[in-house]
Structure 1
Amino acid sequence: MLQHCLRTLVRLVSTRGAQMPADKARCRLCVKLVGGGTVLYQFSLFGFGSSRKPDVESADSWMAEPITNLQYLKENKHDMKCRMEAMIMRIQAEFCHALEKEEQEEGGKKFIVDKWEREQGGGGITCVLQDGTVFEKAGVNISVVSGLLPPSAVQQMRASPGLLPSGVWKFVRSTHELCSKTGVSSVIHPKNPHIPTVHFNYRYFEVEGSDGEKQWWFGGGTDLTPNYLEEEDVTHFHRALKKACDCHDKTLYPKYKKWCDDYFFVQHRNERRGVGGIFFDDLDEPSQDKCFDFVTSCAESVVPSYVPLVQKHKKETYSYKERQWQLLRRGRYVEFNLIYDRGTKFGLYTPGARFESILMSLPLYARWEYMHAPAPGSKEARLQEVLRNPREWI
């Protein structure tokens, strides 16, 4: 087994090395052998990020011209704001193309691309597919905004506002905070009740206070909201996210899985919005580069974690009763997004916000029924039990 793995590793290193200039091909191999135990070998590739093709080189496939001038992105590809913008442009395009493929195989529609500008600084690209064959409403939005923020928006920026230095906090409490935010956000509402809804959001903040001190951090996550519990689907979804986390640190998935369960809690309903995933915020260690590599891995896990579920269920038949249950679950989705979600609040409180893009996460159709409760022992009740008592899926 060890010999086979080492041969595989050599081929991997050779392939990666062939994809970059010789002076960039830096990859350290660490091998760990444990005698008498269950671990036969362990290896890791450090410097993997240095072998990654710069995201800005994928510009030909993007859904639109970037918000920042493309030449500027190329000339400043080491600046984190530029790196993040190029990465989310690539992720947006890859996800849209993957969803369009599933939609058009069923004779459906393509995404409309709406590029917009914000008077106070920056703008965004909103891609929406509405009233399709597979997707009732699918939105994939990127935003690159900067400017001054009022206290109401600042309070939504971090999970722990106290992480802002006291001087900066006093400054934003009395006036404004200079902020730059770059992120990608998506919510997919399929037509078939057996295809889950998926949401992901990955973002990067830079802020500067009145004393010139700067801070940066990342946040984000991916989560799944099914209407019917298919344990195989949920396990597949969580396994893909765990794989993305484990490439960086095996302690991350369980920590961020719990954070996700806690964050997407509809308190007045005493249930989670869905079956979870990962969620994190205020990520600013161990280094900016390592945080970016981690966020990139998480963003890249969206297509393999979700699209197979679309392929599996998109041709399934469903009943009127199942459709009505789907609409009720969407009502719960709306309740969370409008009452609890910090991302939605941040957008709505930001001056010059584009409300159409912020509210793209809302479904095309939803339903509220007075005092509804699923029948005991039903498929609907089985899902609700999991929403009230989160489980470990892998």
Structure 2
Amino acid sequence: MSEQMDSQKSRASAWFRELRDQIVAAFEGLEDSHSQGPFSDMAPGRFAVSETKRASADGSDAGGGLMSVMRGGRVFEKVGVNISTVYGELGARAQAAMAARKGIPGMKDDPRFWASGISLVAHMQNPHCPAVHMNTRMFWTPHAWWFGGGSDLNPCLEYDEDTGHFHGVQKAHCDRHDPEHYPRFKAWADEYFYVPHRKRARGVGGIFLDDYHSGDWEADFAFIQDVGKAFLPAFVPLIEKRRVDAFGEAEKDAQLVHRGLYAEYNLVYDRGTKFGLETGHDANAVLMSLPPLAKWV
């Protein structure tokens, strides 16, 4: 059983790397093809890639990953596409949170964990282009394994047809596995990406899932792959359409204010941010989701 799970872990980690490579290539392709409209006279952006390391309490190997960040491109003002595979033992706070939130017994007695995934956040130059977030991951402990992730759209200027397209692609990929997936995971995203202190949603939603475990690893892995595969066809056509739109100071101001909302959510509520910092992962990689510029009114 251990050998089978080791193979499954390797396959999941390899898939997240493959998805990362596809997205990085597609985003650099958007930079190259942007030949008219705002920012088209700038040099096309490129990702800077660096290795990340997770710090363990005793200095032993605890995994790491790749942080790929593009800044100041024609289309992307800042975008990060990170992958990581980390492992070791959860600290006391993370153990308690895991046991309480997921109802996993035995974490104190055997706190080992393994986690792998991809995380992406894009902040755009043109305020007509929506910001976006996507992540998928696999998590393992000796007591349970599960998948999680999703993607959600965060426009400062909302267009119903863009929202419809983004959700439509998500639904089509979910429907390949279960017609109940999309309504369930859309509702979960609406709940999860709500900002209580502002009494509003962070964006126009998408899908979100956690603790996804049917007992059939192959079927669950196929589904989480489709969650990742949905991202580019859901997002790229919106950018190709909106990146040429003209804008003025009012639109740019709306973008900066919306980024403030995004930053508030990620720093106050986001589970991934909290988990990454509590388990010793590279702080720059964890906080790459923050926008390059933002404002508060």
Report the TM-score, using the length of structure 1 for normalisation: 0.69
Deviations 1:127-153 (A, max 9, x none): 100111110100000010000111322
1:290 corresponds to which of 219, 235, 247 = 219
Residue of structure 2 in register with 1:111 after alignment: 47
Aligned-pair CA distance for 1:77: 9.9
Matched, 1:85 2:13: yes
Name the CA distance, whole Å, in 1 between partners of 2:54 and 2:232: 29
Computing the radius of gyration over CA atoms, which structure comes out larger, 1 or 2?
A: 1
Matches of 2:156 and 2:247, distance apart in 1: 12
Q: What is the distance in 1 between the residues matched to 2:250 and 2:119?
A: 31
- Letter of the 1:359 counterpart: L
CA apart distance, 1:163: 2.5
Partner of 1:96: 24
Higher normalized contact order (CA 8 Å, seq sep 6+, divided by chain length): 2
Query: 1:268 Cα shift?
Result: 0.4
CA distance in 1, matches of 2:97, 2:133: 19
**Paired residue for 1:281, among 188, 196, 210?**
210
| Alignment pair present for 1:249 and 2:183 | no
- Could you tell me how far 1:79 is from its partner in structure 2? 1.3
Q: Aligned ranges for residues 127-276 of structure 1 at < 5 Å? A: 127-155=68-96, 157=98, 161-165=101-105, 168-169=106-107, 171=108, 177-208=111-142, 214-276=143-205
Equivalent in the alignment of 2:65: 124
- The Cα of 1:118 is off from its aligned counterpart by 2.9
Map Cα deviations across residues 304-362 of structure 1 (whole Å, 9 max, x no partner).
000001100111111111101100000000000000000100001113x2000000000
Give the corresponding residue for 1:41. Answer: none
One-letter amino acid of the structure 1 residue matched with residue 135 of structure 2: N
Question: Alpha-carbon deviations, 1:49-94, whole Å to 9, x = none?
Answer: xxxxxxxxxxxxxxxxxxxxxxxxxx98971110111100011011
How many residue pairs were aligned? 282
Q: Secondary structure at the match of 1:269?
A: coil
- CA 1:155–1:299: 2 relative to 1, 3 Å: farther
User: CA RMSD, aligned part only?
Assistant: 1.8
Q: Does 1:363 align with 2:297?
A: no
Distance 1:139 1:357 in 2: 8
Q: Give a deviation string over 1:286-321, Cα, whole Å, max 9, x none.
A: 411111000000101100000001100111111111
Shift of 1:162: 4.3
Gaps of 5+ in 1: 1-74, 209-213, 370-394
Aligned pair partner of 1:335 in 228, 246, 264? 264
- Residues 204 and 216 in structure 1, CA contact (< 8 A), matched pair in contact too: yes
Structure 1 runs of 4+ with >6 Å offset: 75-78
1:311 and 2:240 correspond: yes
1:155 to 1:301, Cα distance in 2 relative to 1, 3 A: farther
Paired residue secondary structure (2:197) = helix
Matched residues in 1 for 2:287 and 2:256: separation?
Answer: 17
Distance (whole Å) between structure 1 residues aligned to residue 96 and residue 29 of structure 2: 40
* 1:140-198 Cα shifts (integer Å, max 9, x gaps): 0001000011132245558x624202xx14x16xxx71110101000000010000011
Q: Distance in 2 between matches of 1:318 and 1:78?
A: 51
Q: In structure 1, give the amino acid aligned to 2:178.
A: D
* Higher alpha-carbon deviation: 285-294 or 147-156: 147-156
Quote the Cα distance in structure 2 between the aligned partners of 1:116 and 1:259.
31
